[in-house]
Structure 1
Amino acid sequence: MQKLLGCTTVAAISLAFATEALATEWNVSLWGKRRAFTEHVEKLAELVSEKTNGEFTLNISYGGLSNNRENLDGISIGAFEMAQFCAGYHRDKNPSITVLELPFLGVETLEQERELSMALYELPAVKEDLGRWNATLLMPSPMPQYNLVGMGEPPRSLEEFAGLSVRATGGIGAAMEAVGAVPTSMSATEVRQSLDSGVITAASFAPHAHMAFGTIENATWWTTNLNPGTVNCPVVANTDALNDLPDAHRDALLGSIDEALDHYVDYYTNETMKAWGPALDERGIERISYDVDALAAFEDAVAGPAAEAWIEDMSARGLPAQELYDFATSKLAELKGQ
């Protein structure tokens, strides 16, 4: 009997160790607070846990693991296994995907942004670029065209942007500069204080971020149709951690991305955008719209030169810049049925 009990105990301990060995926990570095921008990551965590019966969990942290501008650095050294970042925060670290931040690229919907990003992420040059940081691109964070919230007297014509201090990153900053504004790059968490203190007069964001980071609380105006572009903010995994996952856990993670993105797009469309108009109305924020001809002239003045400058700059860095640009524009035309 003692021998039987001893064997049973050893078996139970062995089973416990085996079960523990199968459990996987990943730390995920985000910032701010839960919002439309992070809903796909939240959904991914939920799906992965469900599909693995709780054996694989994503522990999501909003700012507790890293500064948002250092998430890619954290991924590179394995400080955490997954993170979200925006290409425009540090274009030198991820130059290949900044092609998606060019002003007036022509993306019209969240679905187009999603499909275009996922296609670009599969290109060898892009994989190699992010591979320098031991990062594997998992999915984008599709956002609508950015517009400006501001304080004080609104710029009622494009000429009135001259001298205006605007928080704008990436290609949006280049577009603002083209109309005489003074673009300033800062992370999302810094914008509200900078706006309220007068360091900047206006801020470019997608609607969810204007609400999440409080830029509308003291604002007086909003541009409805400036639409200079958007930013590309992917979710990445540490490549070594991804490769080290048990097959079942890796399949659960990668096999949940499409569903997570479906949830994201649905949430942004049916929750965020429905709340945006009432949020402006409640605060008495004036909507500023611009003349179609003025916007066309704005696009003509900005889009071509910005693309040419990007191609020249990125080619000098050794990237196949023309090929990346041609791929992005042709893929977008395909998605739009052109």
Structure 2
Amino acid sequence: MTRYLTGAATAALCVAFATEGMATEWNVSLWGKRRAFTEHVEKLAELVSEKTDGEFTMNISYGGLSKNTDNLDGISIGAFEMAQFCAGYHPDKNRVITVLELPFLGVNTLDEEVAISHAVYEHPAAVDEMAQWNAKYLMTSPMPQYNIVGTGEPRDELAEFDGMRVRATGGIGKAFETVGAVPTSVTSSEAYQAMESGVVDTVAFAQHAHLSFGTINEADWWTANLNPGTVNCPVVVNIDAYESLTDEEREALDSSVPEAIDYYLENYGELLKQWDEVLDEKGVEKVMLSDKAIAEFRSTAADPIREAWIADMEAQGIPGQELYDLVMETLEAQRAGN
């Protein structure tokens, strides 16, 4: 009997170890702190764990695995399995999706931002470019149109942007440059210090980032209706890690993306509803630029930057016109569907 029990116990232990060995654990590299911008990743991890009964889990790190600007490099060498990054951090590595950062695309809602982002992510040129980094696009991190906070007297006329030092990346930075501003691409984590020390006069962010990175605490004013564009920040996975998943694990991951995005949109919507209260609480003046000023900004920035971007992409063998047309067609289809 003793021998029998010992054998049974040994068998049980072997099964337990085998089961433990089959569990899948991914490391996920984010930055900053948990905020509206990362809620879809948090929800994704929760859903995947639920759907696999805890056999597929994700360890989410906020800066402990890599700098935000190095996340794509980390994915490429398999330092972690999933990461978030923003296109403006290294536009030379993700040229295709910079179409989504062109100024004044006319995107009005987060739903529209999701639609155009995922359409571009699925384009063969985008898929092939990410494959060079052993990465696969999983989902976007949709953000509303950027607006700027600033110190001192409000800048509510386009002429007042001349010489303005603004933290802005990608197409937004180029747009400000066309009206005489001086963009700098310090990372989001460095924006507060740059503003506090006077390195920049203004910072362009979506609302959640002004809160999360503290720039709203330094601000005297905020532009409510400038809306020059936004940045695109995808979540990607390491291709080898993705392909090594079991069919059940891959299904749990893929099927959780729409649910995670829906959760993100609901959560971000609540933040936007409270934004005016935040401004009042912190004594930040809401600045409304005139329709004339915005139209002038758009005409100065949008067409020249778009045409230059298309020409630059085509010269590199990337279908710039096709990608821009895809964005416009997807926007039209999204609105027709609504």
Could you tell me how far 1:3 is from its partner in structure 2? 5.1
Q: Name the counterpart of 2:221.
A: 221
1:62 aligns with 2:62: yes
Q: Distance in 2 between matches of 1:6 and 1:53?
A: 29
2:332 corresponds to: 333
Aligned AA (1:204)? A
**Where does structure 1 differ by over 2 angstroms across 4 or more consecutive aligned residues?**
1-7
**Higher mean C-alpha displacement, 37-46 vs 8-17:** 8-17
1:186 Cα deviation after fit: 1.3
Q: 2-side partners of 1:333 and 1:44: how far apart?
A: 29
Which 10-residue stretch deviates more, 300-309 or 207-216?
A: 300-309
Q: Say whether the 8 Å CA contact 2:166–2:182 is kept in structure 1.
A: yes
Task: Report the Cα distance in structure 2 between the residues aligned to 1:274 and 1:288, rounded to whole angstroms.
Answer: 18
**Deviation, structure 1 residue 20:** 1.0
Distance 1:297 1:187 in 2: 29
Report whether the alignment pairs 1:311 with 2:310.
Answer: yes
**% identity of equivalent residues:** 61
What residue in structure 2 maps to residue 260 of structure 1?
260
Q: Deviations over 1:2-29 (max 9, x none)?
A: 5533541342132112211221110000
TM-score, normalization by structure 2: 0.97
Aligned to 1:163: 163
State the match for 2:186 in structure 1. 186
SS at match of 1:177: helix
1:45-84 deviations in whole A, cap 9, x for unaligned?
Answer: 1111111111111100000000000000000000000000
Deviation at 1:214, TM superposition (A): 0.4
SS at match of 2:336: coil
Q: TM-score, normalised by structure 1?
A: 0.97
Is the 2:179–2:300 contact (alpha carbons within 8 Å) kept by the matching residues of 1? Answer: no
CA contact (8 A) 2:119 2:326 kept: no
RMSD over aligned CA atoms reads 1.2
* 5+ residue gaps, structure 2: none
8 Å Cα contact 2:165/2:182 also seen in 1:
yes
Aligned partner letter, 2:331: L
1:154 aligns with 2:157: no
Partner of 1:289: 288
Which residue is 2:144 aligned to?
Answer: 144
| Structure-to-structure mapping, 1:122-141, within 5 angstroms | 122-141=122-141
Contact 2:168 2:185 in 1 (8 A): yes
SS of the counterpart of 1:337?
helix
**How many matched pairs?**
337
